[in-house]
Each structure stands twice: as structure tokens, then as C-alpha cells.
Copies of this chain bind each other. A is one copy, B any other.
Amino acid sequence: MVTMLEVRDVSTIACCAPLIREPLTQSNAEQLAQTLKALADPARLRLLSIVAASPDQEACVCDLIEPMGLSQPTVSHHLKVLTAAGFLARSKRGAWAYYRLVPAALDRVTQTLISA
């Protein structure tokens, strides 16, 4: 079976040393703000947590619509934003798209926000 995997290079996400250590540059602040904006939405946070709690931290889009209680296009839009930000990797298998958590993307955010 051919799998097309769409995954963003997480090294470009949330770039920087912990923000409590040294003032962020404007460029790093813009990059981190963009990454946080992808997370700062209730539907996207719920989607991310549902995918993360699934076996192998992966879920078919077909299994995400009912628990979200949203239309398929809306769910797909939020999944696209999370994939573009690097938090999910998308693969196509047959008719369906599957989304897998990219833990390293969350790690880069938490490393930047860590307080100690």
C-alpha cells in the first residue's frame, strides 16, 4: 500500500531557548506566536487530544467527525491547520486521511515556555 506522508520539519517550530532566559527576538516571537495560534482554538485542542489518545497516537479523519460534533469540512480545516503547524502528520491510505501526533512539535513549544 502506498502511503503519502505529509509532515512538517519540526525544527522550524517554536524556535528558541526558553523565553524566560533571554528576551525573544521579534522574528522568534513571530514564529512562536504563529505556532501558538494554531493551538489556541478549542476545536483544535480537542482534536489534538483525541488523536493523541488514540492507539499509536493516530486516527482516521473518519473517526474524528462524530466525537467532535462538527461537519467534516470543519474538522478537515482544523486538521489542516494543525498539520501546517507541525503538530500532526497526515498520511493518505485508500480513501481516508490519517493523522498522527508529532510529539516533538509539542516538545519544542513546551521547551520554549518552560519556566525553570
Residue ranges of A at the interface with B (Cβ–Cβ < 8 Å): 19-24, 26, 29-30, 32-33, 36-37, 39-46, 48-50, 52-53, 57, 67, 101, 103-104, 106-107, 109-110, 113-116
Residue A45 contacts which of B24, B39, B40, B49 (CB distance < 8 angstroms)?
A: B24
With both beta carbons as reference points, the residue of chain B lying nearest to A21 in the complex is identified as: B53
Copy number in this complex? 2
- Known A32-B45, A33-B45; judge A106-B101 contact (CB<8 A): no
Q: Contact check, B23 vs A49: say whether CB atoms are below 8 A apart.
A: yes
- Known A33-B42, A40-B37; judge A23-B113 contact (CB<8 A): no
Q: Contact check, B42 vs A29: say whether CB atoms are below 8 A apart.
A: yes
